Amino acid sequence: MTELLQKVRVIDPVSEIDELFDVLIADGYIREVASHISDISSDTQIRDCQGLVLGPGLVDLYSHSGEPGFEERETLSSFLQAAAAGGFTRVSILPDTSPVIDNPALVAQLQQKRAEGQRGSTSATLSDRGAEKSLSPLLPSSPAPLLHLWGAITVDVAGKQMTELADLASAGVVGFSDGKPLENLALVRRVLEYLQPLGKPVAFWPSDRQLTANGVMREGTDALRFGLPPIPASAETTAIAAMLELVATIGTPVHIMRVSTARSVELIASAKAAGLPITASTTWMHLLLDTKAVKSYHTSLHLDPPLGNPRDVAALRAGVRAGAIDAIAIDHTPYSYEEKVQAFAEAPAGAIGLELALPLLWQYLVETEEFTALELWRALSTNPAECLGQKVSAILPHQPAELTLFDPQQTWKVERKSLYTLSQNTPWLGQQLKGHVLQTWC
């Protein structure tokens, strides 16, 4: 099929472009990008895209799938549907499934299921539910994103015994991560030594669980006011400092996940300035909300690491803009209604986000002019791809069409029938949002 998008705002971090263009797409490739395209075939589908945004497909560094083991929370199919609906063309799931993704046989099994899903029904399912989501009937449904798998660093992500890293690498994992804190520094050092020749990304979540103890909220006046057990910033910063010392000694590139404090941003910026081979990410909710939001005791605000104080949020935003924090991760963490309906401190930590992140980040960062559109799109697409050792194509002729079309003004209500994820653990449930993904190509 040949499509002409007329007068669409092209945001391309690769070419540093934010301009209005006509874009011609055919057979999975960008055929032409120009201020005006008139030489087209008679069967070309023409769309008036004034007010719409076209950028590279979004890339999520890490999120959780319920399948295998917790299909009531999320299946691979619903996960991919939610990702497509949120504008993502590449997603990566963490290995803490049941069973854990710690052996080549399970990697092969999930890759087979992924292949079946990407040949199968995602487009049909999205189309079937298009009316419920109030999507434009002129726009076709989106294909399934490319699904990557993180391989576990330790058996059963228990933090004790290394997996067969080389075998997992050969099986095709995108990289290695437990998605949980790995506190045995001798084991971390050994992992870094083993991984050097494999050339795969490795991601760690630095967090001292002894300092965290039974805390559920960032230490500060709000934690005192709300009567919730606090987590000191040092639970994160001491672990990051130790990780940076190991990287300086061993030299293996490392990705630091879930950065959430102002001091962490300072440590990472200093390490980068010193030439250490590190990248870092924070999550989208840590850029939008701070400890004051916890006043509602909504269990979907119970995150790990916890939401930061206002100073942390300001530092994280500045860190993303300056490049100390490379990428914004979604860390989509679905839980069932029954799991989340309990006291704040007792509820499992995490919230969904694949379908919500782009609209909310755009509304609160771009429309307020705190971020440029290019800065936000870069942190959600090209930079996370680079953290995975991948590239994103520029929006230029002859390049593959891996794209997201976004309407910043379209409103929709976050409710069960409008979400493709099987879970609804989000503080925005029942609210009207502005900004909606219309289509992806990949």
User: What are the 10-residue block averages of pLDDT along the chain, 442 residues in total?
Assistant: 96 98 97 95 94 98 96 96 97 97 96 73 40 38 90 97 97 98 96 96 98 97 97 98 98 98 98 98 98 98 98 98 98 97 97 98 98 98 98 96 98 96 97 97 94
- On the 0-12 / 13-18 / 19+ scale of CB atoms within 10 A, 196 is exposed
How are beta strands 17-26 and 2-12 bridged, if at all?
antiparallel
* 406/259 Cα distance (integer angstroms): 28
- Token pair listed for 139: 């726009």
Paired strand residues for 440: 404
What letter represents residue 382's amino acid?
A: T
What letter represents residue 162's amino acid?
A: M
* 169/198 Cα distance (integer angstroms): 7
Q: To 5 degrees, how large is the angle CA 167–CA 171–CA 175?
A: 85
* 100/64 Cα distance (integer angstroms): 12
Give the count of beta carbons closer than 10 Å to the beta carbon of residue 243: 23
92 neighbors 149 (Cβ within 8 angstroms):
yes
Catalytic annotation, pick one of 60, 222, 312, 331:
331
* 437/56 Cα distance (integer angstroms): 13
Smallest CA-to-CA distance from 288 within 368, 227, 225 is with 368
236 neighbors 243 (Cβ within 8 angstroms):
no
Alpha carbon of 227 to those of 301, 341, 344: distances in Å?
15, 19, 11
Phi-psi domain of 368 (left: phi exceeds 0; alpha: psi -120 through 50; beta: other): alpha
- Token pair listed for 370: 């705190």
355 neighbors 406 (Cβ within 8 angstroms):
no
Smallest CA-to-CA distance from 405 within 22, 5, 31, 138 is with 5
- Token pair listed for 86: 């949120």
Altogether, the residues listed in the chain come to a count of: 442
* 79/378 Cα distance (integer angstroms): 23
**pTM for this prediction:** 0.94
Query: Which residues fall within 8 angstroms of residue 19, CB to CB, at 6 or more apart?
Result: 9, 10
149 neighbors 107 (Cβ within 8 angstroms):
yes
**Which sign does the torsion angle of CA 253, 351, 82, 381 carry?**
negative
Here the contacts of 340-346 (C-beta below 8 Å, separation 24 or greater) are 340/299, 340/300, 340/425, 341/299, 342/299, 344/216, 344/228, 344/294, 344/297, 344/298, 344/299, 344/301, 344/302, 345/214, 345/216, 345/228, 345/229, 345/302
Active site residue 331: yes
* 8/55 Cα distance (integer angstroms): 10
Smallest CA-to-CA distance from 329 within 73, 58, 70 is with 58
